Amino acid sequence: MILTIPEGYQSSLTLKETEKAIKFVKDFFQQNLSSELRLRRVTAPLFVMQGTGINDDLNGTERAVSFPVKELGDAKAEVVHSLAKWKRMMLGKYDIPAGYGLYTDMNAIRADEELTNLHSMYVDQWDWEASITKEQRSLEFLKKMVRKIYSVLLRTEFMVYEYYPSIKPILPEEITFIHTEELEALYPNLTPFERESEVAKKYGAVFIIGIGGKLPLSGERHDGRAPDYDDWTSETVDGKKGLNGDIILWNPILERAFEVSSMGVRVDKEALKRQLKEAGQEDREKLMWHQMLLQDKMPLSIGGGIGQSRICMFLLQKAHIGEVQASIWPQEMIDQCDKNGITLI
């Protein structure tokens, strides 16, 4: 358990006001995201069958919550970590053309999550995916989509201020783009998280490009990424690697970098093979999902996840994610929050 208590923190909203504000933020954000990215809403699963390759492996170490299914001879199903790969299958199933996509409410349980102000065992996010052309598999197109998402965030922040004038907007008008290779060169003696905090504090909102591959100076990764959804090995026009990244905001309440979205251009056949080899997971090529991609049964795509509770926490200027979602917390954390004016739902 890691808990930060901001000095002098006091929420601008009561518990009842917070519940109303959560609904407003979620409704407004998803409606605008849908129209901005031209996405249709679809219904998503809470669990998938084990051994199909559909579930998101995150960093490859987190255990999925699983259970036997009686009617399937006790074959195991597992609660999704995210819908990163499931969405791409659905693009093909619904025959969604390039320029359009889908989004869904994703609910997950991550039992191995370290519980902090930002991290909960319960994860809720808008998972989205859009079909693209071969020409759109580029850094410029990725940036275009990031700017669209950021415009929705700015719009929502303004509307929160309209309804709740005590919560004043803090986001900059533009989001800044920077590559993990540039960050490593700027701050070679800092950890990846410390680099994120430095650049987020400087610019207010940044998109950090190229997450998953080894960095040139240290040979280490900025952060982990599963090898079979985001493309983090393709080279861009300036020779840097990576067609993916994270939207990071500066959180002045917690005084730290605050991730709200992970997204990227998805792997094509060549990138999938390349990244599975680099990760030492070439045996995954035999799985159902991977075979579908290798046999051209899924469209090229771009997609990501946007944290619903993270967005609410940031825009309502809360100190703990438990103020905007119901989850399970250690009793010690509950007691400390209660003593310091942090009301967990």
DSSP letter for each residue of 85-150:
THHHHHHHHTTPPTT-EEEEEEEEE-TTPPPSSS--SEEEEEEEEEE--GGG-SHHHHHHHHHHHH
Task: Give the pair of three-digit tokens for residue 148.
Answer: 């669209």
- Residue 151 belongs to domain with CATH number: 3.30.930.10
Whether 34 is in a domain gets the answer yes
Q: Does the active-site annotation cover 56?
A: yes
Please compute the mean of the pLDDT values over residues 138-157 and round it to a whole number: 98
Whether 3 is in a domain gets the answer no
pLDDT digits (tens, 9 = 90+) for 75-84: 999 988 888 8
51/288 Cα distance (integer angstroms): 8
280/266 Cα distance (integer angstroms): 19
Task: Give the pair of three-digit tokens for residue 23.
Answer: 């609904």
Q: Does the active-site annotation cover 105?
A: no
Closest CA to 169 of 249, 271, 100: 249
Cβ proximity of 162 and 143 under 8 Å:
no
From the candidates 30, 262, 309, 325, give the one annotated as an active-site residue. 262
Contacts of 343 (CB under 8 A, 6+ apart): 11, 15, 18, 323, 337
Task: Give the pair of three-digit tokens for residue 171.
Answer: 């986001």
Q: Does the active-site annotation cover 259?
A: yes
Whether 234 is in a domain gets the answer yes
302/295 Cα distance (integer angstroms): 19
Amino acid at position 68, single letter:
P
Whether 148 is in a domain gets the answer yes
Closest CA to 265 of 83, 138, 91: 138
CA dihedral 106, 111, 116, 117 (to 10 degrees): 20
- pLDDT score at 18: 95
From the candidates 82, 125, 131, 261, give the one annotated as an active-site residue. 125
Whether 278 is in a domain gets the answer yes
From the candidates 181, 246, 268, 323, give the one annotated as an active-site residue. 246
Whether 32 is in a domain gets the answer yes
Q: Does the active-site annotation cover 57?
A: no
Residue 185 burial (CB count, 10 A): 12
From the candidates 56, 57, 127, 231, give the one annotated as an active-site residue. 56
From the candidates 34, 57, 78, 110, give the one annotated as an active-site residue. 110
Domains of the chain: total: 1
Q: Does the active-site annotation cover 110?
A: yes
Whether 10 is in a domain gets the answer no
333/5 Cα distance (integer angstroms): 10
pLDDT digits (tens, 9 = 90+) for 181-233: 999 999 999 999 999 999 999 999 999 999 999 998 898 999 988 899 999 99
pLDDT digits (tens, 9 = 90+) for 4-27: 999 989 999 999 999 999 999 999
Residue 268 burial (CB count, 10 A): 18
Kindly report the three-state secondary structure assignment for every residue of 297-341: CCCCEEEEEEEHHHHHHHHCCCCCHHHCCCCCCCHHHHHHHHHCC
Q: Does the active-site annotation cover 17?
A: no
Q: Residue 327 belongs to what domain range?
A: 15-339
From the candidates 181, 259, 268, 323, give the one annotated as an active-site residue. 259
Mean pLDDT computed over every residue of the chain: 93
Whether 9 is in a domain gets the answer no
Closest CA to 308 of 41, 17, 22: 22
pLDDT digits (tens, 9 = 90+) for 150-189: 999 999 999 999 999 999 999 999 999 999 999 999 999 9
> What predicted TM-score, i.e. pTM, was given to this entire model?
0.94
SS3 225: coil
